[in-house]
Chain A
């Protein structure tokens, strides 16, 4: 067994795990944070995307022990209490999800996209950046609209914070 300690959604967690435990297994099975999903096992579909130290990472191909000492953000930690993150709200407003299975990974990827590229991202950029996330339901049309709107809304929130 291997000992791991990390911060997940702001809380420090420690556990002894089988060394081959994947980060996504650690989140889902040990911490019961089942919002992070597994869709393909080969780093292709992106249903498992979480943020590790502020960067989008596919948790299905990361060992839990690799996240030792890291700060992890999952879909469960994105909202501010009952107040949805602007990207979550945009996915609902623009019908950017159907079955909901790829959605947590999509939202975490989208937030990372905005963190890296800013609030004014065009359709071509969004489509290119979503290369690592597969959705079988929506045809991406509304996901692209949601990410565009969510990015703008995150900018609005940022400006409000700056003004305060």
Chain B
């Protein structure tokens, strides 16, 4: 390992601009002549729009335009799309209702887009929006996930019972047979609470029309600018793909919420031509709560069947997934193919059957949020396993160990073929770091102080690097999920890497450069990473699903390999040798068995001056591209252990220890990987203890600011103990599995298992707020509750 190569904790190249206030986020950009957009949003969860009168607003100072859904329709602008087709059990396609960027006839959630006001300043646009007269005819709202299918009100005409799909996976007969012969069955009702992603940079967009080139540019907060361009072109029909440039500059966190193609950026691009000015929109926080796609929101009944030897025989799951008022870009895939295929967890389960009903409600659309389906699956499996162990009186660590998959490759009954892993190794290491042996002593000490101490486990698995394209295509994906890269070597030997991955906090400018250093032997300051601009990078699928390392860097590796091969040919001419005799090592091309060698930079120069070879024999230049499509998903896995101490008088849960041992395969930069684990755990702990998107009966989101929605703060969290084990991924050239979502997937069941261990029963749901914990404790101690 070199100081800057693979495996080194290199300090981040991108940090200089961020710590000095020189980052360039979308809202930092000012385009010449830009006007400002403000979206008038529905105050009702469900209503018919009787009339919109913009006259008074148009008369306000600075107002350039007030545009509505009628204007969109008149211009033939298409609706927003959902890019993953799900078929129901009966073979029928999912029921996708219309999703116009500005409402046409009806509004379906609080925050739905009614009109856009464009003015010289944002303040003028806001002022004018108050003057837009909208007459609504209110309709009853469908809000609750569990009862949406029974509601007399339909969110969309196309789905009278509010059912988007009735999907299933697995072998029902085999699973029923497993339960029929079970010695013990563990049953749980589980609610996976609705979350709001809450990247600290809110979404923003600037649409700009260049009349001379007849083309548009969109500056936006996107995790995948090429996908945004594709959808805006091919489906929404704003402009042909070659007439639309999408730029995602520095992006302040995404966590999934910036994957999707939303109404606001669509409208900004479209409106920029209508008003003849760049149109800028920047979300405020409450708009973000109302209009960024939410995450999770499942109601599940799950059952686990065991034999007399504590071996798992089968798993049966019935889930209702709330998809909100419209199908967001990838929403349909999240509670289906990103959920049920993970229900085998780390366990050898012979039979699994899962049914998922997707439902519409008059709430904000729900889509992928860090982990996307996998946290929901892991919560089901890890709660069931923990409770099953308790019910049969077995140590939960031993119960897990007994049921772990031990031989690889392993085909689960739910699609996935796990390639490699060593789950017991992660468990052993986690038990040691967490000092599991010392837990009972610590519990006694807590009891002496009148406190309740509990410990909880989570043995999670995830499927990352989302791909292969052929596989996801067969499951309904509308796109391929490969990645592209181009490696451009300059005549002086410096290197530019153009990647379809997008960094919004992951540190690609550093880790991708480390790969180049490692393979080409150039200095890290000699490497630039270019991403986030469709005019620079030809195409790419973007960053989500922990795929930038496993897929994005694999594409770069392929391109680097091609550069080395070309370099060998150039070096062969330059050193008058056969290219078969050229070796490349540590940044030098050398002729085998001789002392002749050339540095990488010298060969780059020779490639461009082209003095040593004829253009007929070899093309000048040193630039190679590659597309990489994986052969399998990757399967990061690990064990997280949470230890809590609860004050029974206040219900306050304090996390005393949080241990995470993860197997991410080969790690490029352990500092960055640990940071990803920390951040994921914080979001997972947030889900377990603090965060909850709450709607009232009328469909008002009552947690629509940081005054109401409890974001994890520094004082809510402990320092984390992070360890790693390594089984390199066999399916990609670097052995990477991916690390971005692990913490958010693993942490919630670990926390809840710890709390239920402490309070001695399973009767608590997420978020386990002090009030909820206090109530749960005092339910078991009625004498105290009566005091």
B290 contacts chain A at the CB level, 8 A cutoff: no
Chain B contact residues, CB within 8 Å of chain A: 11-12, 14-25, 27-28, 30, 123, 198-202, 250-253, 255, 284-286, 504-507, 671-672, 674-675, 678-683, 705-707, 711-715, 717, 719-720, 743
In A125-164, the 8 Å CB interface with B consists of: 126-128, 130-131, 133-144
B711-A134 in contact (CB<8A): yes
In the complex, A75 Cα to B719 Cα: how many Å?
27
User: Which B residues lie within 8 Å of A143 (CB)?
Assistant: 714
**If the complex has contacts A34-B28, A42-B707, A139-B679, are A92 and B250 also in contact, measured as CB distance less than 8 A?**
no
With both chains docked as a complex, state the minimum distance between the C-beta of B61 and any C-beta of chain A, in angstroms.
Answer: 12
Per-position binary interface string of chain A over residues 81-96, scored 1 when its CB falls under 8 Å from any chain B CB and 0 otherwise: 0001000110111010
What are 8 contact pairs spanning A and B, CB under 8 A?
Answer: A33-B21, A37-B200, A39-B201, A95-B674, A99-B200, A101-B199, A101-B200, A101-B253
Q: A37-B201, A100-B250 are in contact. Are A139 and B19 (CB under 8 A)?
A: no
Hey, which chain B residues are within 8 Å of A39, CB to CB?
200-202, 285
10 pairs of A and B residues whose beta carbons are closest in the complex: A35-B21, A101-B252, A100-B18, A139-B682, A99-B505, A44-B706, A75-B21, A98-B505, A139-B678, A34-B28
- When distances are taken between beta carbons in the complex, the residues of chain A under 8 Å from B28 are 28, 34
Q: What A residues does B27 contact at CB under 8 A?
A: 34, 38
Chain A nearest CB: distance from B683 CB in Å? 7
Question: Which residue on A lies nearest to B9, using beta carbons?
Answer: A95
Q: Which residue of B lies closest to A89 (CB)?
A: B19
Query: Cβ of A53 < 8 Å from any Cβ of B?
Result: no
Given A95-B675, A99-B251, A100-B252, is A144 in contact with B714 using a C-beta cutoff of 8 Å? yes
Q: Which residues of B contact A142 (CB under 8 A)?
A: 675, 678
How far in angstroms is the closest Cβ of chain A from B263?
A: 21
Bound complex: CA A93 to CA B15 (Å): 10
A98–B506 CB distance below 8 A: yes
Chain B residue contacts of A16, Cβ below 8 A: none
* Measured CA separation A71–B720 after assembly (Å): 39
- Assess the A92–B16 pair: CB atoms within 8 A: yes
Q: Which residue of A lies closest to B672 (CB)?
A: A95
Q: In the complex the two chains form, what is the Cα distance from A150 to B199 in whole Å?
A: 26
Report Cα–Cα, A133/B682, bound state, in Å: 15
Interface of B is mostly: loop
Whether a CB of chain B sits under 8 angstroms from the CB of A76 is yes
Task: Say whether, besides A39-B200, A99-B251, A143-B714, A138 and B19 are in contact (CB < 8 Å).
Answer: no
Residue from the set B27, B286, B504, B719 with the largest chain A CB neighbour count within 10 Å: B719
With A102-B200, A130-B714, A134-B711 already in contact, the answer to whether A35 and B123 are too (CB < 8 A) is no
Shortest CB-to-CB span from A122 to chain B, Å, is 12
Q: Is the CB of A136 within 8 A of B198?
A: yes
Cβ of A64 within 8 Å of any chain B Cβ, yes or no, is: no
User: A residues bordering B, Cβ < 8 Å?
Assistant: 18, 20, 28, 32-42, 44-45, 47, 74-76, 78-79, 84, 88-89, 91-93, 95, 97-104, 107, 123, 126-128, 130-131, 133-144
A138 and B679: CB pair below 8 A? yes
- The listed residue (B19, B286, B714, B720) touching A126 by CB distance below 8 A is B714
Cβ-defined contact, A136 with B714, below 8 A: no
Q: Flag if A92 contacts B12 (CB, 8 Å).
A: yes
Report whether B706 and A100 are in contact in the complex, using a CB–CB cutoff of 8 Å. Answer: no
Given contacts A36-B21, A98-B507, A141-B678, whether A136 and B683 have CB atoms under 8 Å apart is yes
Measured in the bound complex, the distance between the Cα atoms of B719 and A127 in whole Å is 10
Q: Are A100 and B23 in contact (CB under 8 A)?
A: yes
| In the bound complex, CA of A57 to CA of B715 (Å) | 20
- Least distance between B294 CB and chain A CB atoms (Å): 15
Q: Per a CB cutoff under 8 Å, which of A107, A126, A138 touches B678? A: A138
**B252 lies within 8 A of A99 (CB):** yes
The CA of A143 and the CA of B671, in the complex, are separated in Å by 13
Q: A134 vs B710: C-alpha distance in the bound complex, in angstroms?
A: 11
Given A95-B672, A98-B505, A99-B252, answer yes or no on A127-B285 (Cβ-Cβ < 8 Å): no
Q: A44-B711, A128-B715, A138-B679 are in contact. List 13 more A-B contacts (CB 8 A).
A: A41-B705, A75-B19, A98-B253, A98-B507, A101-B200, A136-B253, A136-B255, A136-B679, A137-B200, A138-B678, A140-B678, A140-B682, A144-B714
Q: Which residues of B contact A101 (CB under 8 A)?
A: 23, 25, 199-201, 252-253
Report how far A39 CA is from B589 CA in the complex, Å. 51
Beta-carbon contact of A98 and B714 below 8 Å = no
Chain A, residue nearest B284 (CB): A41
User: If A42-B706, A99-B252, A123-B719 touch, does A137 touch B285 (CB 8 Å cutoff)?
Assistant: no
Are A74 and B21 interface neighbours, CB within 8 A?
yes
Residues of B within 8 A of A38 (CB): 27
> For B251, B679, B705, which residue has the most chain A Cβ atoms within 10 angstroms?
B679
Contacts of A103 in B (CB 8 A): 18-19
Tell me whether B20 and A135 are in contact (CB under 8 A).
no
A97's nearest neighbour on chain B, judged by CB, is B18
Docked CA distance A47–B719 (Å) = 22
**Cβ contact of B715, chosen from A40, A42, A78, A127, cutoff 8 A:** A127
A residues near B683, Cβ cutoff 8 Å: 136, 139
Q: Is the CB of B11 within 8 A of A92?
A: yes
Q: Which chain A residues lie closer than 8 Å to B674 at the CB level?
A: 95
Residues of the A chain whose Cβ atoms lie less than 8 Å from the Cβ of B706: 40, 42, 44-45, 134
A42's contact among B201, B285, B679, by CB below 8 Å, is which? B285
Which residue in A78, A133, A139 is a CB contact (below 8 Å) of B717?
A139
B409 vs chain A, min Cβ distance (A):
33
Question: Could you tell me the distance in whole angstroms from the C-beta of A154 to the nearest C-beta in chain B?
Answer: 15
Of the candidates A45, A104, A127, the one whose C-beta lies within 8 Å of that of B714 is A127
Cβ-defined partner of A95 (8 Å) among B12, B198, B252, B717: B12
Cβ–Cβ contact A139 & B681, under 8 A: yes
Docked CA distance A30–B406 (Å): 63
Q: Is the CB of B253 within 8 A of A130?
A: no
Set of chain B residues within 8 Å of A79, measured between Cβ atoms: 20
Known interface pairs A140-B714, A142-B675. Does A88 touch B285 (Cβ–Cβ under 8 Å)? no
Out of A32, A130, A141, name the residue touching B719 (CB < 8 Å): A141
Determine the residue in chain A with the shortest Cβ distance to B682.
Answer: A139
- In the complex, are the beta carbons of A137 and B19 less than 8 A apart? no
Across the interface, which residues of B come within 8 angstroms of A76, CB to CB? 20-22
Q: Give the docked Cα–Cα distance between A47 and B27 (Å).
A: 14
Candidate in A45, A76, A78 with the most chain B CB atoms within 10 angstroms: A45
Among the listed B24, B123, B201, B715, which residue makes an inter-chain contact with A20, where contact means beta carbons less than 8 Å apart?
B123
Q: Is A35 within 8 A of B675, CB to CB?
A: no
Q: Note all chain B residues with C-beta closer than 8 A to A137.
A: 200, 253, 505, 675, 679
Complex Cα–Cα for A86 and B311 (A) = 56
